[in-house]
Amino acid sequence: SLSIGIVGLPNVGKSTLFNALTKNDVLAANYPFATIEPNVGVVGVPDPRLTTLAEIFGSARILPATVDFVDIAGIVRGASEGEGLGNKFLANIRESDAICQVIRAFKDDNVVHVDGRVSPKDDIETINTELILADLQSVEKAIPRLTKEARLQKEKAAVLAAAEAAQEILAAGDTLFSRGITKGTEQGALLHELHLLTTKPFLYVFNVDEDELSDEDFKNEQRALVAPAEAIFLDAKLESDLVELDDAEALELLQSVGQQEPGLSTLARVGFETLGLQTYLTAGPKESRAWTIKRGATAPEAAGVIHTDFQKGFIKAEVISFADLVSTGSVADARAAGKARMEGKDYVMQDGDVVEFRFNV
Ligand code: GDP
C-alpha cells in the first residue's frame, strides 16, 4: 500500500504526532496478529458514511480505508552529501509515496529549536534544500548517461529533455512538485527512472499553539508559503491528549479550542487525497467497509482490490450512490426506485459508490 513519510527538523513534534497517530493504529485494532513495524502507523480515514451504512445494514463492524504513515528520522543539514544517517534518510523518503513535513510553529522556551528561533519559512527551506540538492545530484549524474543513450535510442531524447528541464528548476531552488511536475504528469513519467524525491506530492503539518488553531490570518500566511501543497494545522500536544479521551470528552476538548474534528482526522483525510486515492463502499451484515482505489479506477479494477478473481471474472457492478441509498433506506427500496445501476467494465468509480460486484468464478 502507499505510504506517507513524516519528516521534519529535530524537536518540532514529530514523535509526539507519530505517537498520537499510532494510538489510532487500525491494524493493531482489527488485525491482532499483523506484524506491526515500529516506525509505521496505519491510520483509519474517518468516514461518517460507514456509520450510516452500518446502521442500514446492521453491520457487525466498520472497516475504514487506511493510510500508512512512516516516521522518517534523521533529517540533518548535509543529508544530501550522503553521509551515514543522511543516506538512510533519503533512502527512506525514496520509498515513500508522499512527503509530510512537520513544521514547528509553537512557541515554548523550554523546547530548544535547532536553529535557535521559530521560523516556519526557514525550516521549510532547510528541509526542501536537502531534498532539492539530492535530486540535483541524481539529475546531474544521469544527464551524461542520458545524452549518450539519446544518440542511439530516439525515445531517450524526451527523457534527456525532461532531465534538463528538471535540472533548471532544481538549480533555481524549487521542488519539482511546486512547479507542477509529479508522477501523474507527462514530465514526471519521463523522469520516473531517476527516482527523484521532489516529484512526490508534499503536504505540511504546522504544529501550532492552541490559539493559532483558529487564527485565520496566520494560517493563510502559512498556506501561501507552501501552496500548491496542502497545509494542516494542529497542536501535537493537544492531539496526544485527545487520543487518551473517550469520544464525548474529546469532543468537549475540541470544542473548547474551537475545532470540529481532531487534527489527526484531517491529516488522515488530506494524506489520503494527497496520495491520489479514493474509496468505494461495500456494506452487509458482516461489515461496512471502504475500499481503497486510485482516483479514476474502473469497476473491474475496483473489484480486483477485494479479490483478483473478482476482477478476472468481472461481469457487472451494481452501484447505488450513498445519497440514494440513504434517501431510499435500503437496497431493495433503491432498486424499486430505479436508483440501482448496473455498470459494466468501462465504468469509472465515483466517490460514494456503494457497490456489489457480479462475477464468474
Ligand atoms: P521531534 O524531535 O520532532 O520528534 O519532537 P518531539 O515530538 O520529541 O517534541 C520535542 C519537544 O517538544 C517535546 O518536549 C515535546 O513535548 C514538545 N512538543 C511537541 N509538540 C508540542 C506542541 O505542540 N506544543 C508544545 N508546547 N510543545 C510541544
Q: Which residue has its alpha carbon closest to ligand 1 atom 19?
A: 13
Q: Which domain holds residue 312?
A: 296-359
Q: Please check whether residue 351 lies inside any domain of the structure.
A: yes
Q: Please check whether residue 325 lies inside any domain of the structure.
A: yes
Work out the angle between the directed axes of helices 216-226 and 120-152 (0-180°, nearest 10).
20
Task: Judge whether 282 is annotated as a binding position.
Answer: no
The dihedral sign for the CA sequence 256, 262, 263, 269: negative
Work out the angle between the directed axes of helices 84-95 and 120-152 (0-180°, nearest 10).
80
Q: So what's the pLDDT on residue 75?
A: 66
Q: So what's the pLDDT on residue 16?
A: 94
The phi, psi pair for 34, rounded to 5°, reads -70, 145
Q: Which residue has its alpha carbon closest to ligand 1 atom 17?
A: 13
Instruction: Please tell me the pTM assigned to this model.
Output: 0.91
Q: Please check whether residue 343 lies inside any domain of the structure.
A: yes
Task: Judge whether 84 is annotated as a binding position.
Answer: no
From the CA of 213, how far away is ligand 1's center (Å)? Answer: 16
Q: So what's the pLDDT on residue 179?
A: 95
Q: So what's the pLDDT on residue 115?
A: 75
Contact yes or no for 184/80 (Cβ under 8 A)? no
Widest CA span in the chain: 67
Q: Please check whether residue 273 lies inside any domain of the structure.
A: no
CA-based R_g, the chain, Å = 23
Task: Judge whether 114 is annotated as a binding position.
Answer: no
Cell numbers of 298, please? Answer: 474502473
Q: So what's the pLDDT on residue 29?
A: 62
Burial of 201 (0-12, 13-18, 19+ CB in 10 A): buried
Q: What is the CATH number of the domain that holds 338?
A: 3.10.20.30
Q: Please check whether residue 338 lies inside any domain of the structure.
A: yes
Which is nearest to 5 in space by CA: 31, 54, 40? 40
Task: Judge whether 276 is annotated as a binding position.
Answer: no
The phi, psi pair for 316, rounded to 5°, reads -150, 160
Q: So what's the pLDDT on residue 164?
A: 97
Ligand 1 pocket, CB under 6 A: 8, 10-16, 106, 108, 111, 207, 235-237
Which is nearest to 300 in space by CA: 328, 326, 280? 280
Ligand 1 pocket test target in 6, 108, 213 with most atoms within 8 Å of CB: 108
β-strands 314-321, 341-343 pairing: antiparallel
Point out the ligand 1 atom lying closest to the alpha carbon of residue 107: 26
From the CA of 148, how far away is ligand 1's center (Å)? Answer: 50
Q: Please check whether residue 133 lies inside any domain of the structure.
A: no
Task: Judge whether 298 is annotated as a binding position.
Answer: no
List the helix and strand counts (H, then E) for the chain.
Answer: 15, 12
Point out the ligand 1 atom lying closest to the alpha carbon of residue 106: 24
Q: Please check whether residue 291 lies inside any domain of the structure.
A: no
- Residues in the chain, how many? 361
Q: What is the pLDDT along the chain (361 residues), one digit of tens a residue?
A: 899 999 999 889 999 999 999 886 666 666 656 666 778 888 999 999 999 999 999 999 999 999 999 999 766 666 666 655 567 788 899 999 999 999 999 988 888 777 777 889 999 999 999 999 999 999 999 999 999 999 999 889 999 999 999 999 999 999 999 999 998 899 999 999 999 999 999 999 999 999 999 999 999 999 999 999 999 999 999 999 999 999 999 999 999 999 999 999 999 999 999 999 999 999 999 999 999 999 999 999 999 999 999 999 999 999 999 999 999 999 999 999 999 999 999 999 999 999 999 988 7
Ligand 1 pocket test target in 7, 14, 16, 102 with most atoms within 8 Å of CB: 16
Buried b (16+ CB within 10 A) or exposed e, 57-79: bebeebbbbbbbbbbbbebbeeb
Q: Please check whether residue 43 lies inside any domain of the structure.
A: no
Total structural domains in the chain? 1
Those residues whose C-beta lies under 8 Å from the C-beta of residue 167, and which sit 6 or more positions away, are: 136, 139, 140, 143
